[in-house]
Structures are given as structure tokens and as C-alpha cells.
Structure 1
Amino acid sequence: MTLAKSALIVALLAPAVALAASPAIYKARHDNFEAMGRAMKGTADSFKSGSPDIALIRANAAVLAAAAPKVTKMFPKGTGVEGNPKSEALPAIWQKPAEFAAANKRLVDATVAFKAAAAGGDMAAVQAAFGAVGGSCKNCHETFRKPRG
């Protein structure tokens, strides 16, 4: 087979490969955000209980710090509503990639700070750091995710 034929075959198959990979990326993205949501809710519920469980908060902080850096990698071009009509991703993710990356960096930084505060155990610092994570989440949701409801 010639190099030209090989290149043609690759070019013709590339869209099919991308489509085949799309369900996996949507699932990975969904699962990552679900894990983050559970960690946020678990932490918020612990604070609301009146007797925050620092072990639970530390575990949730670790989940958030591990999940946050994955976010920007989970939005390859073509994985918006054009690939999955249920996607809540707004076109701004791909139209403003530098802004999306900056928003994700703020999230990563906030989750790292939250994890560090949780390790320290000062509940006032932990709560403040958790608030910064929530603010970072909210900022991204308002800018890069379809409104719910």
C-alpha cells in the first residue's frame, strides 16, 4: 500500500474513530463532574450538620483536587451538543479556550488550597477554602454550562 493510500484511509476513518470515542469522553466527563458534585455536597452537608467531620472533608478535598485537573482535557473539539444533544457544555468552551483554561486553573488552584486547608484542620480556613472552590465552580457553570431548569 502506498503512503498516499494509507493517508487517505486514515483521513476517511478519522471521523468514525472520533465518533466512536465520543461516548467514552461524555461518560468520563459526566463521571468526573458527578464525583465533584458528590464531594461538594458531602462537604456542604458536613458543614451544615453543625459538627463537621474533618475526615470526610479531607476525603472530599482529595476527590476534588484529583478531579479538577482533568476538566479541560475532557472537552475535545466536537464534544458539545453536536456529538451529544444532552450535553450541557456551551460553545464558549471552544470559542474561548484561553478563558476556559483560566477558569479551570482557578478551580485547580482552589481545590489544591482546599485540600491543604483540610490537611491543616483549622475549620475556619477549611470553610473559607471550600467557599473558594464553590465560587470557582459557580463561575464556570455560569460561563460555560447551559443553565439548568
Structure 2
Amino acid sequence: MKLAHTALIAALLVPAVAFAAGPNIYKARHDNFEAMGRAMKGTADQFKSGNPDIAVIRANAAVLAAAAPKVAGMFPKGTGVEGNPKSEALPAIWQKPADFAAANKRLVDATKAFQAATATGDMTAVQGAFGAVGGSCKNCHESFRKPRA
């Protein structure tokens, strides 16, 4: 009887927890990626300016280094299109979790290296490290996000 009661409570709580996390996780995920996109664009704009401001680039590198580790926890099961039709997350995230984890590690490592490069002030090293961040972003976009029209 006690086991049946526990099972019933668990069965009732799982959908409630999934619902509670669902809408919030989508917004958190979106906001995190938007912050990363702004930091990438802001850095690229600095390089295009002809006179990049290392302080602006350092600030963007800090945003990226803080946002990248959050990505791994922002894709719990059930938070793809089945929970939000607007989601761009591909099923490969959940079908190939080791690949997704490796891609996220690559992103985290690249953003840390970028942040470290900005501390040196060596713009050649900074640009190279920024390119590695862009490559890690592209890798995930091609493997784990729906193509955009």
C-alpha cells in the first residue's frame, strides 16, 4: 500500500515538475543564448572597427565564459519541440548526450581560453581565441539546432 501511495505521488509530481521547469527553462535558455550572441556580435564589431577596444572585448569574453557552462543544464529531457513548438533544439541533444556534452565542453574550454587571451592584450592571440569560440558555436548550431531559413 505504501509503495502504491508513493508511486501515485511520484506520478502526480513528475508532470508538475516538468511543467514548472518547462516555460522557465525555455526563457532561461533563450536569454543565455541571446547574451552569448550579443557578446559574439559585440566582439566581432570591435575587430571590424579597425581600432578594437580591449576593455569591450574583455567584457564580452567574461559574458561568454559565464554563459557557456550554463548551456549543459539547460536541456532537460522533454524541453525540445514537444514542450515548446518554437524550440530550435534538435532531438540529437537527447539522442546523443555524450556528443552534446563534448560539444558543450568544447564551448566552455574555448570561452575560457578566449577570456585568458584577452587578459594578455595580445590582439593576435585574442582574435585566434575568438575564432575558436566561433567554431565551437558553429559546431553546435550545425549538430544540435534546427537550421534557420
Range into which the TM-score falls when normalised by the shorter chain: over 0.9
TM superposition shift of 1:20:
2.3
Q: Which residue of 2 aligns with 1:105?
A: 105
**TM-score scaled to structure 2, two decimals?**
0.96
Q: What stretches of structure 1 of length at least 5 have no aligned partner?
A: none
Q: How many equivalent pairs are there? A: 149
State whether structure 2 residue 18 is matched by structure 1 residue 18: yes
C-alpha separation between the residues in 2 aligned to 1:92 and 1:105? 16
C-alpha separation between the residues in 2 aligned to 1:20 and 1:12? 13
Root mean square deviation of aligned Cα? 1.2
Q: Which residue of 1 aligns with 2:55?
A: 55
Q: Which residue of 2 aligns with 1:124?
A: 124
Deviations along 1:83-131, one digit per CA (max 9) or x if unpaired, are: 0000000000000000000001000010000000001100000000000
SS in 1 for 2:110: helix
Q: Which residue of 2 aligns with 1:139?
A: 139
Identity %: 85
C-alpha separation between the residues in 2 aligned to 1:100 and 1:47? 30
Q: Which residue of 1 aligns with 2:88?
A: 88
SS in 2 for 1:101: helix
Which runs of at least 4 in structure 1 moved beyond 2 Å after TM superposition?
Answer: 1-4
C-alpha separation between the residues in 1 aligned to 2:129 and 2:9? 51
TM superposition shift of 1:2:
4.5
Q: What stretches of structure 2 of length at least 5 have no aligned partner?
A: none
Q: Which residue of 1 aligns with 2:74?
A: 74
TM superposition shift of 1:144:
0.3
Structure 2 counterpart of 1:53, one-letter code: D
C-alpha separation between the residues in 2 aligned to 1:47 and 1:143? 27
